[in-house]
């Protein structure tokens, strides 16, 4: 078989499978589970690079493949899946669709730019990247679940949808904004993962009835 199949890319493959399940859940109307799979993809992405760097004898082809496959996976997990989720729950007006298209395009441009820069950087050093340039596309795996968990706090459905539009537009813009964003430390990643896990648990097991009531009441 063509491709690379060692442990350095296994989390990337799992992340893609998770996003695919998220797309199926969205199309089936199970939005809570779609957001869960979005967060799961984000969890995998947080650690795939760390795992890949544990293999010290990676060839140049393996490094290049890792860069390419990671970005190809990211555009599905954190570009296409959030677009489908947001469209499904209410971003269906002309301006909403335009925002989603621009969000996806910004993510695509960011990932292509990252590939060019990262391949050059890895040819010069094996050290881990200390800063992101612009907001990482994986940020949507944090932002969207947190927004869903906070949904019962919104006074009306229209306010929630308006906030969603603004949030997607802002995050997409930050993808291609040229600023330095420090990569989180291991402890910060642990706290972040724990926070997301609690949020997802609330979304799936506590807020299920709240979200349904909120949606029916304020649509």
Please give the chain's pLDDT, 219 residues, in tens: 887 787 778 899 999 999 999 999 999 988 888 998 999 999 888 877 777 777 777 777 877 888 889 999 999 999 999 999 999 998 999 999 999 999 999 999 999 998 887 766 666 566 666 778 889 999 999 899 888 888 878 888 889 999 999 999 999 999 999 888 787 776 777 787 777 777 777 766 665 555 554 454 444
pTM of the model: 0.87
How many CB atoms neighbour CB 149 within 10 A? Answer: 21
CA distances from 60 to 111, 117, 198 (A): 20, 15, 39
Task: Work out whether the CA dihedral 110, 116, 120, 123 comes out positive or negative.
Answer: positive
- Tokens linked to 49: 């690079």
78: phi then psi, degrees, rounded to nearest 5: -115, 0
Find the DSSP H helices in 125-207.
140-149, 157-175, 186-201
Q: Give, as one character, the DSSP assignment of residue 155.
A: S
């Amino acid at each position: 078989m063509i491709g690379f199949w060692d442990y350095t890319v296994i989390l990337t493959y799992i992340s893609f499978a998770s996003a695919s399940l998220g797309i199926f859940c969205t199309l089936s109307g199970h939005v809570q589970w779609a957001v869960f799979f979005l967060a799961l993809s984000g969890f995998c992405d947080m650690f795939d690079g760390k795992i890949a760097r544990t293999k010290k004898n990676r060839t140049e082809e393996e490094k290049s493949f890792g860069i390419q496959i990671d970005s190809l996976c990211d555009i599905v997990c954190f570009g296409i899946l959030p677009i489908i989720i947001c469209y499904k729950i209410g971003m269906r007006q002309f301006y909403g669709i335009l925002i989603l298209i621009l969000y996806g395009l910004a993510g695509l441009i960011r990932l292509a730019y990252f590939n060019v820069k990262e391949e050059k950087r890895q040819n010069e050093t094996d050290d881990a990247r200390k800063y992101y340039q612009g907001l990482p596309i994986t940020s949507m795996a944090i932002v969207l679940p947190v927004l869903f968990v906070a949904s019962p706090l919104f006074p009306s459905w229209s306010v929630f949808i308006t906030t969603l539009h603004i949030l997607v537009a802002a995050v997409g813009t930050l993808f291609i904004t040229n600023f330095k964003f420090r990569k989180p430390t291991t402890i910060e990643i642990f706290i972040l993962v724990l926070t997301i896990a609690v949020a997802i648990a609330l979304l799936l097991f506590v807020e299920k009835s709240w979200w349904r009531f909120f949606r029916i009441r304020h649509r």
